[in-house]
A and B are shown apart, each in its own frame.
Chain A
C-alpha cells in the first residue's frame, strides 16, 4: 500500500489524497511526503496509523520527512505507530497546542477513560465539549461493536485556531460498513450501505424499527446531524465509496433530512478500496449550536423518517387487473 502525505488535505479538499491511496500489496506500507509543508486533517493521520497496525514493522517504509511540519507528526505520535525512529527532537507541547495525539482504543473502558482525558487536552468549555465527546463516544463504540477489527479504533484530534475548529479523525481496518449493514439488509454497493448507515433507525443488527436491546441505528445519523446543524464537514469512507457532507450555506435555514443524499454532499464509489471505515468530522466552535436545540431537530427528523419508512412498508395499493 502507498500513501502520500500531501501539502494539504482537509475534508474540503481530501479527495485527491484518498484517490492517490494505493491499496495494492496490503502487506507493505510505503509513505511519501511533500517536501515543503504538510498540513493534514487528523483523519489522514488516523488512516496511516490504522494501516500501520496491520503491517509488520519491517514492511513499513516512511520517506525521511523534510517538511517543517515533521515535528507535528512526531507530536501526534505518528512515528510511534509506524514503529520508526524519527530522530526528531520535540519540546513538550506548547500551551497553544490543543490536540489529542494518535490513540488506539481497544475496549469500552479505554474509551470512557479516553473521553475523560480528551476534553482537558482540547481546552474546551462545557458547551463546546458536549458535541465533541458525543461524537467520539458514538464513533468509537461503532468501531468496537461492529468493525470486527483486530486492531480496533485509531483516532486523533486537533484544534485549529484560525478557523476555531476541532477536527477529528477515526479509522479502522475492520469489515467495513457494507458487511455490517448486510447482516440485516442486502445492499449491493458500499455507497448504498453508507447511505443506509447514515439514516436514522437503520442498523446492521436488525431490520426491526426500534433496533435491538443494544443498537438503534441512530449514532451516525446523530453525528451527521451535529455536523449539518453546525454547518461543518463530515466524511465517511468505506470500501470503494466516500460520502462527504458539505458545509451548508450560512444564513440559510437548516433542515435535517433522514436521507443523507438529500443534504448538500459529494460522493463517489470509485475510490481505492479501504478495508474498514474512516470517518472525519469538523466541529466549528464559533457555530456550535446549543446541543439541546439540536436535539429538537434530531428528534423531529428521526421520528418523521421512521414513520415515513413504516408507512411505506405497510402501505397497500389497489391492484387493478
Chain B
C-alpha cells in the first residue's frame, strides 16, 4: 500500500493545483499502473479547494474509470475535505 502524506507537500490548506498534478502524475498514477493501492493521507490538512481535489483525482477517474476508487483510500479527512472529495467524485461520474 502506498501512503502519500499530503501535509508535507501542501501544508494545511490544499489549494496548489500544480502540486496536486505532480502528486497525481508522479505518485498516484505510477502506483495504480503497477496494480497497487494508494492512500491519500490528509492528516494535518484542514481544508482543500475543489480545484485541488479535481487536479488530484479527476484525471485518474477519467482514465481508469470510476472503479479505480476501490483502489484509492482517503484517510484522515475532516468533514470539509470529505465533502469536497465527494463533490468531485460525484460530478466525475456525470462526465461525458
Interface residues of A (CB under 8 A from B): 108-109, 111-112, 115-116, 126, 130, 133-134, 137-138, 141, 200-201, 208-211, 213-216, 218-219, 222, 291-292, 295-296, 298-299, 302-303, 306-307, 310
Q: Tell me if B58 and A138 are in contact (CB < 8 A).
A: no
Q: Is there an interface contact between A216 and B91, defined as CB atoms closer than 8 Å?
A: yes
Report the 4 A-B pairs with minimum CB-CB distance, sorted nearest first: A210-B95, A213-B59, A295-B83, A137-B15
- The A-B contact count (CB < 8 A) is 101
- Considering the chains assembled together, what is the distance between the CA atoms of A307 and B84 in angstroms? 19
Contact B51 A303 (CB under 8 A): no
Question: A108's contact among B18, B59, B80, B94, by CB below 8 Å, is which?
Answer: B18
Q: Can you show 17 pairs from A to B with CB atoms below 8 A apart?
A: A108-B18, A133-B13, A137-B49, A138-B49, A201-B91, A208-B95, A210-B91, A210-B94, A213-B55, A214-B17, A216-B51, A216-B88, A218-B54, A291-B47, A292-B79, A296-B83, A299-B83
A208–B58 Cα distance when bound, in Å, is: 13
Instruction: List chain A residues, Cβ under 8 A from B18.
Output: 108
> Which B residues touch A126, using CB under 8 A?
46
Chain A residues, Cβ within 8 Å of B84: 295
The distance from the CB of A107 to the nearest CB of chain B, in whole angstroms, is 9
B68 within 8 A of A: no
- Select A211's contact among B58, B83, B86, B90, beta carbons within 8 Å: B58
Residue of B nearest to A210 (CB): B95
Most buried by A among B83, B84, B91, B94: B91
Name the contact of B92 in the complex, choosing from A130, A210, A310 (C-beta under 8 A): A210
Are A295 and B87 closer than 8 Å at their CB atoms?
yes
Which of B13, B47, B79, B87 sits near A299, CB closer than 8 Å? Answer: B87
Q: How far is the CA of A87 from the CA of B29 in the complex (A)?
A: 57
Would you call A310 and B16 a contact (CB within 8 A)? Answer: no
- B1-18 vs A, CB cutoff 8 Å, 1 = contact: the mask equals 000000000010101111
Count contacts on B: residues with CB < 8 A to the other chain: 30
Residues of chain B lying within 8 A (CB to CB) of residue A296: 83
B residues in contact (CB < 8 Å) with A: 11, 13, 15-18, 21, 46-47, 49-51, 54-55, 58-59, 62, 79-80, 83-84, 86-88, 90-92, 94-96
**Shortest distance from the beta carbon of B57 to any chain A beta carbon, whole Å:** 10
Complex formed: what's the CA distance from A116 to B12 in Å? 9
Neighbouring A residues of B83 by C-beta, 8 Å: 292, 295-296, 299
Question: Is the Cβ of B58 less than 8 Å from the Cβ of A216?
Answer: yes
Q: Say how far B60's CB is from chain A's closest CB, in angstroms.
A: 9
Task: Known pairs A209-B96, A210-B62, A303-B91; list 14 more (Cβ under 8 Å).
Answer: A111-B16, A115-B13, A115-B15, A134-B49, A138-B49, A211-B54, A218-B50, A218-B54, A218-B91, A219-B51, A292-B79, A292-B80, A292-B83, A306-B91
CB-defined contacts of B59 to chain A, threshold 8 Å: 213
- Within the complex, the shortest CB–CB distance from B47 to chain A, in Å, comes to 6
- Indicate if the CB atoms of A134 and B47 lie closer than 8 Å: yes
Contact A216 B54 (CB under 8 A): yes
* B63 CB, nearest partner CB in chain A, Å: 9
Complex formed: what's the CA distance from A213 to B92 in Å? 11
A205 to B18, CA, bound (A): 17
* CB pair A112 B15 closer than 8 Å: yes
If A214-B55, A216-B54 touch, whether A310 touches B15 (CB-CB below 8 Å) is no
Are the C-beta atoms of A303 and B94 separated by less than 8 Å? yes
Closest to A130 in B: B47
Query: How far apart sit A109 and B19, CA to CA, in the bound complex (Å)?
Result: 10
